[in-house]
Chain A
Amino acid sequence: MKIGLFIPCYVDAVFPEVGVATYRLLRHLGYDVRYPEGQTCCGQPMANAGFEGESVALGERFEDKFAGFDYVVAPSVSCTAFIKLNYPRLLKGKHECSAAKKTIDVVEFLHDIAKVDRPLGRFPYKVSLHNSCHGVRELHLSSPSELNTVKFNKIKDLLALVEGIEVVEPDRPDECCGFGGMFSVEETGVSTKMGQQKLMRHMATGAHYITGPDCSCLMHMAGIAARQGCPIEFRHVVEILAAGL
């Protein structure tokens, strides 16, 4: 099984350690992982802002970059969701879209493809889980609180493999943190207020860390936490899974 690693632009530029953890974890599990050079962005920021036409060329590049891989694994739910849900439509008639089928968020890959069940890293802290919207409602990493369906949470399942960890969820466990890409720019007031409230709910759990499957949500809340001087730290799920490996 050949795995291509997709490290989205903002993870590359701001959170390289998340890329490193993803790579280390996949290697630890024995996978053949490649990182094709010259990757940039999936196109989501422009598309959510209303310019999805600007994403088409990026989609074509993505197809070329990751031709020949069985899976494209990415540590970001919103980028993965964008590729899976929008590329087939955006690339229609221009390029064969295989990316949508083989691109997978790292959490889903570990849970459903790798089916990891052996102990992973050690992280002896209380961690509050941030269920990012696109992970919940587009990639189905957990059961959305709105639906009357069987309750599950793939992120929680994976974190249970970490030694010493205590995982909690905040009140309103899958309510949006208020990032929303261009939303945080156009609607700064509401975005910040949502982030402050979300942070408060995470803090109320008494956790030492907030973790989640998407760095953009974490970045939003971390920026607010730093501004307010809140004593809480942020880690992407893969960083915790790979801690100490």
Chain B
Amino acid sequence: MSTSHSRLADKFLENDKYAQWHDNTFWGVRQKRDRMADEVPEWEQLRQMASDIKRHTITHLDRYLEQFEANAVKNGAIVHWAKDADEFNSIIYGILREHDVKKLVKSKSMLTEECEMNPYLEAHGVEVVETDLGERIIQLNDQKPSHIVMPAIHLDHHEVGQLFENKLGSEKDNHDPTYLTYQARLSLRHEFLTADAGLTGANFGVAATGDIVVCTNEGNADMATSVPPLHIAVMGLEKVIPDYDSLAVFHRLLARSATGQPTTVYTSHFRTNRPTARKMHIVLLDNGRTEWIANPQHWETLKCIRCGSCMNTCPVYRLSGGYSYSYFIPGPLGINLGMLRDPQAHSGNVSACTLCLSCQNTCPVKVNLGDQVYQWRQQLDEFGTANKQKKFICKGMDAVFTRPKVYNMATDNAHLANHIPSFIMECGLNPWAKGHKMMKFPKKPFHKLFKDLEKDEDGK
């Protein structure tokens, strides 16, 4: 009764040493996050506020988006609206073509991953250079991110070292991370200086001021927007927030939740282009978001600020890695976003949750990710993606449990059968035999023992 996730997870687990490293690394990030949360006395109040602000903003998106657009235009930016990935890609390409852009440097953006923008632009002859180190590594390695904040976490320094030897001409066998980072710096410095345009995502769009706010540790978004003569910022609709008072709340939560730092090194506020550059373009993307808002059980996923803390704390993510999930975003968030995007394609991830609910406790905006996984499971039958064997077992369990006589017969005789009664066996304890020794069934179940207990008491 495996799923697409569990099959890939088994592959991941074949390299035990790496799996342990992966688990420990992300647990380490989780611990750093905990220390940050503990240092802020008002942490839980901030989370509640952040959730409330997002609930408000997302249910008043029309008002805030129009306000954002008006202010951005007033600041001198050009605002575009894209209803889906196709329109998004063609708007971006249109801007690039208009400015005769041959090379685009970009900072990390999950939105461009969502739209598969890079291959689209490359097919149209634009060279796209990722400038976040992790993104650059996986771009050179022709891979997709395995984590939204630490996209190259699946590679160790030897693999990165070999990649850089081949692609950047770094010294043979020098796999020191500091050396390798410096090699990437030199190479990317050249890209920044020779690019015709820079593209950034947006952590926040501030309606009251028209700011695009971008947070990085590397300073790559700033390099990408301070040298080339054109800046395009892209933003999912749900990233708009009302004002600076709201921004303060999210800023305090974001880096602490994401990497366990009190802040990212850079928090840049873009309102317009530099005096020596062309007009700044802002592209707003819907791509399903205004449909998801109608889903009463799942709309709150739109509150997400993409910190990745749900992945870091998820024991299943930590022991199965980003590539075990079929959606480009893994972990609890990815399970939910994948199902919103295409339940037929991504039902195989819904098994990847023990319902431990740690994710919704770390989530800085209180998205009920685990509860939503439970809800998605209820809908698999409706989507036609439920496992038939699982369905049969559950119907069978129900048949036994709603008939106490049958139930009693099964449990009373469990010990005689010298194996597990079929209703429990089929509810799945059997695949256990791989890692577990079967439990022994007692001579008498409790409902029989109880009669003896009562007799004992009466005797006294």
Q: Footprint of B on A, CB under 8 Å?
A: 7, 9-20, 23-24, 27, 35, 37-41, 43, 45-55, 57-58, 61, 133-134, 137-138, 144-149, 172, 174-176, 178-197, 219-220, 222-224, 226-227
Give chain B residues whose Cβ lies under 8 Å from the Cβ of A24.
Answer: 453
Contact of A183 (CB < 8 Å), options: B353, B407, B453: B353
Is chain A's interface secondary structure helix, strand, loop, or mixed overall? helix
Contact assessment for B398 and A58 in the assembled complex, using a CB-CB cutoff below 8 Å: yes
B368-392 interface with A by 8 A CB criterion: 374, 377-381, 386-387, 390-391
**Given A185-B431, A186-B2, A193-B19, CB of A14 within 8 Å of CB of B439:** yes
C-alpha gap A191/B13 in the complex (Å): 11
Contact assessment for A187 and B6 in the assembled complex, using a CB-CB cutoff below 8 Å: yes
Contact assessment for A223 and B438 in the assembled complex, using a CB-CB cutoff below 8 Å: yes
Contact assessment for A195 and B390 in the assembled complex, using a CB-CB cutoff below 8 Å: no
C-alpha gap A114/B234 in the complex (Å): 58
Contact of B398 (CB < 8 Å), options: A37, A57, A138, A144: A57
A112 CB to closest chain B CB (Å) equals 21
Contact assessment for A227 and B435 in the assembled complex, using a CB-CB cutoff below 8 Å: yes
B401 at the interface (CB under 8 A from A): yes
Contact assessment for A10 and B435 in the assembled complex, using a CB-CB cutoff below 8 Å: no
Give chain A residues whose Cβ lies under 8 Å from the Cβ of B316.
Answer: 187, 190, 194
C-alpha gap A188/B320 in the complex (Å): 12
Contact assessment for A50 and B13 in the assembled complex, using a CB-CB cutoff below 8 Å: no
Q: Mark B206-247, 1 if CB is under 8 A from A, else 0.
A: 000000000000000000000000000000000000000000
Q: Footprint of A on B, CB under 8 Å?
A: 1-3, 5-6, 9-10, 13, 19, 23, 27, 34, 37-38, 40-41, 43-44, 313, 315-316, 319-320, 350-358, 360-362, 374, 377-381, 386-387, 390-391, 393-395, 397-398, 400-402, 404, 407, 411, 414, 421, 424, 427-432, 434-439, 441-442, 444-450, 453, 457
Contact assessment for A193 and B319 in the assembled complex, using a CB-CB cutoff below 8 Å: yes
Contact assessment for B401 and A133 in the assembled complex, using a CB-CB cutoff below 8 Å: no
Give chain B residues whose Cβ lies under 8 Å from the Cβ of A27.
Answer: 457
Can you identify 12 A-B contacts, CB atoms within 8 angstroms?
A: A16-B444, A145-B34, A146-B362, A176-B358, A180-B353, A180-B354, A181-B355, A185-B427, A189-B13, A190-B13, A194-B319, A196-B435
B140 CB to closest chain A CB (Å) equals 30
Contact assessment for A133 and B358 in the assembled complex, using a CB-CB cutoff below 8 Å: yes
Is chain B's interface secondary structure helix, strand, loop, or mixed overall? helix
Query: Nearest B residue to A215 by beta-carbon distance?
Result: B439
Query: Nearest A residue to B42 by beta-carbon distance?
Result: A148
Contact assessment for A144 and B432 in the assembled complex, using a CB-CB cutoff below 8 Å: no
Contact assessment for A223 and B439 in the assembled complex, using a CB-CB cutoff below 8 Å: yes
B1 CB to closest chain A CB (Å) equals 6
Contact assessment for B428 and A185 in the assembled complex, using a CB-CB cutoff below 8 Å: yes
C-alpha gap A39/B450 in the complex (Å): 13
C-alpha gap A149/B40 in the complex (Å): 11
A132 CB to closest chain B CB (Å) equals 9
Contact of B445 (CB < 8 Å), options: A13, A149, A188, A227: A13
Contact assessment for B441 and A187 in the assembled complex, using a CB-CB cutoff below 8 Å: no
Query: Nearest B residue to A138 by beta-carbon distance?
Result: B357
Give chain B residues whose Cβ lies under 8 Å from the Cβ of A191.
Answer: 354, 435
Contact assessment for B439 and A219 in the assembled complex, using a CB-CB cutoff below 8 Å: yes
C-alpha gap A10/B397 in the complex (Å): 12
| Most central of B27, B44, B411, B447 by chain A CB within 10 Å | B447
**Given A137-B358, A146-B358, CB of A224 within 8 Å of CB of B442:** no
- A20-B450, A49-B394, A227-B437 known; 17 new pairs, CB 8 Å cut-off, are A7-B447, A9-B411, A12-B411, A16-B442, A16-B446, A46-B397, A58-B398, A61-B402, A147-B37, A175-B358, A183-B351, A184-B432, A186-B1, A187-B6, A188-B2, A226-B436, A227-B435
